[in-house]
Amino acid sequence: MKDIKKYIDQHKDRFLNELIELLKIPSISADSAYKKDVLKTADEIKSSLEKAGCENVEICQTKGYPIVYGDKIIDKNLPTVLVYGHYDVQPPDPINLWDSPPFEPVIKKTELHPEGAIFARGACDDKGQMYMHVKAMELMTQTNQLPCNVKFMIEGEEEVGSASLADFVKENHEKLSNDVILISDTGMIAKDTPSITTGLRGLSYVEVEVTGPNRDLHSGLYGGAVANPINVLTKMIASLHDENNHITIPGFYDNVEELSTEERAEMAKAPFSLDNYKKALDIDAVYGEAGYSTNERNSIRPTLDVNGIWGGYTGEGAKTVIASQAFAKISMRLVPNQDWEEITQLFKKHFESIAPKGVTVKVTPHHGGQGYVTPIDSIGYKAASKAYTDTFGKTPIPQRSGGSIPIVSLFEKELKSKTILMGFGLDSDAIHSPNEHFGVWNYLKGIETIPYFYHYFTELNK
Ligand code: BES
Ligand code: MN
Ligand code: MN
């Protein structure tokens, strides 16, 4: 491979400015008020793919937000890499906790990023990481070293469950046929410790509603005499974990794969400092399932978390009231063998069964998806490992992540190909949180590493 560093050096200011322009558009898929902006972002991605040297670039309409497709087929006998990413972003709130407005990107230096980091919603998840692939494509075409075929598929509904993409994939096997799927939408251990994500957790997301009396009541006149939906809901939620922080839903752990002692010992070799972890989050202790380490708790073990809870009076001052209803949103992170639809049913059955007399309970499933594990002896993994070794000077560590990209297991089922997760973000990049950012160094390192993946993937397929 030649001239990669040189090309990046010559064009890095433009690479940054183009990303900054993309980050200015608030493509929030969850909020319909931003529909125009989401659609505009799709248009921008389309023209950026054209400029990068893709052909057949099109905006594929769906029931929801469009999917941007583009490809470059240089020789049908060569392997094909399918790049997936998403152009939608999470809502920015709570907005008052941002140091600068979420859609007015700024580059600021931080302790971890002395070269600067771009602060904006979507900087890392996933506009910044997706755009690395667009720029790597440009680099390979401009320097005449694209070694194989490429297809791009960039969606706008990842943050809300990828419903339209699932249909699109099912209906377009031929168009999307490939030898490997390449995604940068995860992280790595540290700037000096490259890693490749080998697992993602599944997800079941539900909303629960507890209804008591038919109206809000005076908490003096009725308090103590009727079931208070908020008291009941919090008690029910508390009972979902036992004293060892095991989840109490019957059958929940039935299909959980227990890792062997050897596998757990291998995992424990990944560098990790509990002190730094606590310091970064300003907590005096970690918390979780007995018998497992922090890294195990957030990757190979399933979890249940309340994501939001509301009801009653939350305004200024005090109002003495027993609310008629209480609500919560609950997510369960699942490990590969757990079926998300089955878990959703187990949750529903259990949650309804623990409701006391005097209230009614409603459980509404939202979305979900299967977990994923990928082997480390595939050609794709080996190509990625060699790519990182060239650009980081270190062999990357395989690591299972706690996050979810539910569509990845569907890719494997429908398109019969493995996904390689080459993430360049850091846990401290604050994705989904206020002050999300992406290191300039990480962005450029991604653009540098991706062409090596194409090179080795093509070589190893010969
Ligand atoms: N890119 C993330 C997932 C991720 C981040 C995986 C870091 C591994 C490391 C993705 O955009 C995301 O946020 N996924 C959601 C699930 C989705 C169905 C809303 C998640 O994990 O909460
Ligand atoms: Mn993402
Ligand atoms: Mn996300």
CB-based burial of residue 364 (10 Å sphere; 0-12 exposed, 13-18 middle, 19+ buried)?
Answer: exposed
Mean pLDDT of 3-32: 98
Give the length of the chain.
462
What is the CB neighbour count within 10 angstroms for residue 85?
24
Give me the phi and psi of 333, to 5 degrees please: -90, 130
Q: How confident is the model at residue 10 (pLDDT cuts 50, 70, 90)?
A: very high
Mean pLDDT value across the chain: 97
Among 121, 165, 405, the mutation site with the greatest number of ligand 1 atoms within 8 A of its Cβ is 405
The residue whose C-alpha atom lies closest to atom 19 belonging to ligand 1 is 159
- Ligand 3 center to 184 CA (angstroms): 12
Mean pLDDT of 46-68: 98
Mean pLDDT of 5-26: 98
pLDDT reported for residue 86: 98
pLDDT reported for residue 340: 96
Atom in ligand 1 nearest the alpha carbon of residue 367: 18
Two structure tokens written together for 80: 């094909």
pLDDT reported for residue 205: 96
pLDDT reported for residue 367: 87
pLDDT reported for residue 283: 98
Quick check: 245 pLDDT over 90?
A: yes
pLDDT 10s digits, 89-128? 999 999 999 999 999 999 999 999 999 999 999 999 999 9
Quick one: DSSP state of residue 206?
E
Mean pLDDT of 273-300: 96
Q: Closest Cα partner for 204 from 335, 358, 22?
A: 335
pLDDT reported for residue 438: 98
- Taking the C-alpha atoms of residue 257 and residue 235, their distance in angstroms, rounded to an integer, is 30
Q: Which residues on adjacent β-strands are paired with residue 209?
A: 327, 362
For residue 130, the ligand closest to its alpha carbon is: 2
- Ligand 1 center to 405 CA (angstroms): 5
The residue whose C-alpha atom lies closest to atom 6 belonging to ligand 1 is 403
Quick check: 2 pLDDT over 90?
A: no
- Ligand 2 center to 242 CA (angstroms): 32
pTM over 0.75: yes
Residues 6 or more apart in contact with residue 193 via CB below 8 angstroms: 271, 394, 397
Q: How confident is the model at residue 1 (pLDDT cuts 50, 70, 90)?
A: confident
What is the CB neighbour count within 10 angstroms for residue 75?
9
What is the CB neighbour count within 10 angstroms for residue 67?
28
3-state secondary structure of 82: strand
pLDDT 10s digits, 425-462? 999 999 999 999 999 999 999 999 999 999 999 999 99
Mean pLDDT of 328-342: 96
The residue whose C-alpha atom lies closest to atom 7 belonging to ligand 1 is 186
Mean pLDDT of 240-267: 95
Mean pLDDT of 281-303: 97
Q: Treating both helix axes as pointing N-terminal to C-terminal, what angle do 440-460 and 4-23 enclose, rounded to 10 degrees?
A: 120
Mean pLDDT of 199-221: 97
